[in-house]
Copies of this chain bind each other. A is one copy, B any other.
Amino acid sequence: MSKKKIINDPVYGFIEIKNDLIFDLIEHPYFQRLRRIKQLGLTDLVYPGALHTRFHHALGAMHLMDQALSSISAKGIAISDEEAEAAKIAILLHDVGHSPFSHALEHSILFHVKHESISELVMEKLNQEFGGKLRMAIEMFRNTYSRRFFHQLISSQLDMDRLDYLNRDCFFTGVHEGTIGAERIIKMLNVANDELVIDQKGIYSVENFLTARRLMYWQVYLHKTTICAEKMTVQIIDRVRHLLKKKVVVPCPDSLAYFLSKNLTVSDFSSKKQGLTHFMNLDDHDIWYSIKQWMNHPDKVLSLLCKMLVTRKLFSIQLSNTVIPKKEMEKAKKATMKQLDLKESDLKYFILSGTVSNEAYIHNKHKEIKILTKDKKLVNLVEASDLPNIKALGKIVKKHYLCFPKIVSL
């Protein structure tokens, strides 16, 4: 049976799957699971169209990888069929290790374990299942493959991951001004000294891409209401951990209980087979279902937080360029304690402070975007361009936040 397939994508039109191994990987339950993990966690509470999944993103990134490899080949860079397959597999699976709610719960369900590490574990597992056919893909993912530009296509400041997620997120949120011109950037990709570079006439597109990415950060990824919803979810999980530790019964899907009743370290996770199995069982439905159940839990902190999230009575947030004065926090605490009739020790679940930050462009000689000038020299983006704002984009913008309940009847 031919395994060709065409998948409709409102963003790119059609995504074609032309390769049997890739077809089989997409069919695998580990990859199908990504259909049940939303790309943007709780962002749909702000942008109701933003319901797209990691599944769709992974396919889209693979599609762009296909185009990028064609673009580079057409400029005379030899790429073997095996390399092309490996690069597409690596980008297809780069997010396969995401937890439910993507980044929102990345550090709540598993402490100190990044999704990339789990993606790598999953790829190893799949490599065994598929008789070693993912070896080169894993090397590219880990950056141990000899030609390093492949890794840069998978993970760098101009990788196919970013091109797809910006494209896709702006499409589904409806923030059209975030459009990045991925097609043009891909046409401008080149390879020099084994490094992924941009042809000189692409610098305005790159600048626009960096600014669009910044816009998306503040307009979408770090939108005030999104921050609030995500913080609330983190508090819910923390409270459940706390209750389980104190032996309070909290109904919980088995695979979720596995993680919330212990503090797993990276090595635990990779050494024990059941860790991965449980992790691969989890998706957004487990979390939402549990939160809905917990609305009626006798623990007031837990039930309150869950009710607030499900009925969208989200926290308010104050966002500021400077440290938020202690007394603001004290005021919020006092009001909250009175209004919600809480114990002082439980206030920490309702009054949260910290910082969020964004760096649109990273200045670091190993990570900078390199430009290939017309006379075939390689220079850093900042130097190549007469664009003073590229430099400016490298500045880390940090904001202080204070979250607290809207004082409403719940």
Chain A interface residues toward B at CB < 8 A: 4, 6-11, 13-14, 27, 29, 32, 35-36, 44-45, 47-49, 51-53, 55-56, 59, 74, 171-181, 183-184, 187, 204-205, 207-209, 211-212, 214-215, 218-219, 253, 281, 283-286, 288-289, 292-293, 310-312, 321, 386-389, 391-393, 395, 397, 399
Shortest beta-carbon contacts, A-B, top 5: A177-B181, A389-B389, A10-B174, A389-B392, A388-B392
Instruction: Enumerate chain B residues within 8 angstroms of A253, measured Cβ to Cβ.
Output: 289, 293
Least Cβ–Cβ distance between A269 and chain B, in angstroms: 21
Is the beta-carbon distance between A211 and B389 smaller than 8 angstroms? Answer: yes
Is the beta-carbon distance between A56 and B52 smaller than 8 angstroms? Answer: no
CA of A288 to CA of B36 in the docked complex: distance in angstroms? 9
The residue on B at minimum CB distance from A288 is B285
CA of A59 to CA of B7 in the docked complex: distance in angstroms? 27
* Given A13-B174, A391-B392, 18 further pairs, Cβ under 8 A: A8-B48, A8-B173, A9-B174, A10-B49, A10-B171, A48-B56, A177-B181, A177-B205, A177-B209, A177-B212, A204-B215, A204-B218, A208-B212, A283-B292, A285-B289, A289-B289, A386-B399, A389-B389
CA of A409 to CA of B405 in the docked complex: distance in angstroms? 51
Least Cβ–Cβ distance between A141 and chain B, in angstroms: 23
Least Cβ–Cβ distance between A290 and chain B, in angstroms: 8
CA of A243 to CA of B181 in the docked complex: distance in angstroms? 47
Is the beta-carbon distance between A29 and B289 smaller than 8 angstroms? Answer: no
**13 pairs of residues in contact across A and B, judged by CB atoms under 8 Å:** A8-B49, A9-B174, A14-B183, A14-B187, A48-B56, A51-B53, A175-B184, A177-B181, A177-B209, A204-B218, A205-B219, A284-B285, A389-B392
Number of identical protomers: 4
Least Cβ–Cβ distance between A203 and chain B, in angstroms: 9
CA of A74 to CA of B56 in the docked complex: distance in angstroms? 24
Instruction: Enumerate chain B residues within 8 angstroms of A285, measured Cβ to Cβ.
Output: 284-285, 288-289, 292
Interface class of chain A by DSSP? helix
Least Cβ–Cβ distance between A205 and chain B, in angstroms: 6
Instruction: Enumerate chain B residues within 8 angstroms of A175, measured Cβ to Cβ.
Output: 8, 181, 184
Instruction: Enumerate chain B residues within 8 angstroms of A29, measured Cβ to Cβ.
Output: 310-311
Given A215-B207, A288-B285; A48-B44 close (CB under 8 Å) = no
CA of A238 to CA of B85 in the docked complex: distance in angstroms? 43
Contact of A204 among B6, B219, B392 (CB under 8 A): B219
CA of A397 to CA of B11 in the docked complex: distance in angstroms? 32
CA of A335 to CA of B395 in the docked complex: distance in angstroms? 48
Is the beta-carbon distance between A208 and B215 smaller than 8 angstroms? Answer: yes
Is the beta-carbon distance between B48 and A51 smaller than 8 angstroms? Answer: no
Contact of A392 among B180, B184, B392 (CB under 8 A): B392
Instruction: Enumerate chain B residues within 8 angstroms of A392, measured Cβ to Cβ.
Output: 387-389, 391-392
Instruction: Enumerate chain B residues within 8 angstroms of A204, measured Cβ to Cβ.
Output: 214-215, 218-219
CA of A321 to CA of B8 in the docked complex: distance in angstroms? 27
CA of A29 to CA of B409 in the docked complex: distance in angstroms? 13
The residue on B at minimum CB distance from A29 is B311
Instruction: Enumerate chain B residues within 8 angstroms of A52, measured Cβ to Cβ.
Output: 49, 51
CA of A56 to CA of B27 in the docked complex: distance in angstroms? 30
Least Cβ–Cβ distance between A18 and chain B, in angstroms: 8
CA of A184 to CA of B13 in the docked complex: distance in angstroms? 9
